[in-house]
Amino acid sequence: VGDTVQKGDSLVKFDQSDLEDAYADAKDNLSDTTTSANAEVTNAKKQLSNAQTTYSDSKTSSAAEVKKTKASLQTLKKTIRSLKDKIKAAKDAARKTALQQELSQAQEQLTQAQEKYEQAVSNQTSGNRQNQSSVDSAKTAVEQAETNRTKQIKEAQKQVKEAKENLDNCAVTAPVSGTVTSLSVEEGDTYSGGTLLQIQD
């Protein structure tokens, strides 16, 4: 009390070891958060890529299966038409009976081929729908991971900024020039708020 101070003079300096630790921790947390959030985004993008590859491969194979079963169906239909023509043209009864048996077998095969074709079409439709859903879900996951990354990094950066400001505020400087008229703290005190000292011009 009674000392004359100039504006900007250092008046009180707080022990900053805890604040230095807090600042270091905040920076470490920012680094860890960034690494973790980037890993989540990378993983989500990998899942999306896998889903797209699965969809593409499945689409190709199911289309090939539909094409194959359709071709088989068309071939059997031609065979049946040909057998019917041969039966009409057949003069010999034994030959006609043999052709009838072939026709009967071909018609059974046609029924099976029709079922296979319908199943292939059904599998193609449901598979494409399911795989598209997986791709859509994976895209949503990527968007969510990117949003989370932005939020988490922003929050961690805020903590670093606050810790740095706290550290920078360890020194109390004179806001004006004048004489110290009262002092509320001594070396070794723990500051719990309130006026540290008063300066009057």
Residue 179: strand, helix, or coil: strand
| More confidently predicted of 10 and 44 | 44
Helix axes 93-168, 17-89, angle to 10 degrees: 170
Quick one: DSSP state of residue 8? T
Q: Are 117 and 75 in contact (CB under 8 A)?
A: no
List pLDDT tens digits, range 157-178: 999 999 999 888 888 899 999 9
Assigned token pair, 148: 């989370």
- pLDDT score for 6: 94
- pLDDT score for 170: 84
Answer yes or no: is pLDDT of 198 > 90: yes
Quick one: DSSP state of residue 6? -
> What is the average pLDDT value for the chain, to the nearest integer?
93
List pLDDT tens digits, range 83-139: 999 888 888 888 889 999 999 999 999 999 999 999 999 999 999 999 999 999 999
Model confidence, pTM: 0.70
Answer yes or no: is pLDDT of 15 > 90: no
